[in-house]
Structure 1
Amino acid sequence: MRKSLLVAISAVALLLTSCKKSESGNKSIIKTDSSETVITDNNGKIDSVTQSSSTTEVNGQKTEKTDFVYKATDGSLVKVVFKNDPKESNVAITSNKKTFTLPKTETKDGEIIYKKDDMTARVKGDSIHLEQGNNVIELKRTKI
């Protein structure tokens, strides 16, 4: 009986001393900034817009992606993703399962211009003016 009691106590003591939890964590995980991006209008009020935003930091360089839903004059909905990182800024416009990605070319008079080949997107406030050849499409940001 003494031997089994001694063996049981030894096993419990060994178990308690051998289980140490490491709190160092995984060092190779990419950190993500979980802060919420708040867009304000010209009056400083929070803009209640259908949007999704994320900021990612890799090696000290931040990349920000913001998704919006726009509505064309014909009533169709268009997904627009603005991407800003240290290397480039661009806009991706998705409609009818087609995506057009346009790099930022210039900023003037409060208007941001994205251009690629014959397609131009002029972003000012909550509207986008798209031109492709002779076609012109007006997009307005949808509100909640």
Structure 2
Amino acid sequence: MKRNATAVWNGSLKEGAGKISTQSGVLDNTQYSFKTRFESGVGTNPEELIAAAHAGCFTMQLTAYINEAGYEVGEISTKCDVDFKDGSVVSSHLTLTAKVERIEDSEFQELVTKAEKNCPISRLLNTEISSSATLA
């Protein structure tokens, strides 16, 4: 399976602007610019999109591991913070809260660590990845 997205940029780095579209159409000419990346502007930026991808991928992987262990997920809410410094993504931190009946915290934490290391986006990123997880 292959997926794609398209970025189109017009103008200089600081005064120009771009648009991002995805194959699914969820992003359709969504604006991004120097201001949305380095200042405060309306639109998205690559790091925000990486954070969304990592949060979504990790949450699905954790759900799979919890199900394989014989538990049902009530809800998992994951926030991903991507840190962009000196032109590089230097870390991605996942903060989550989960509702899973009957699971012990120690087993849950093991599954979180396993998902953190094995979700496809974690394997793609060449950066420090960490997490903190709470059972609700």
TM-score normalised by structure 2 residue count: 0.31
Q: Which has the higher contact order (CA 8 A, sep 6+)?
A: 2
Structure number having the greater strand percentage = 1
Which of the pair has more CA radius of gyration? 1
Structure number having the greater helix percentage = 2
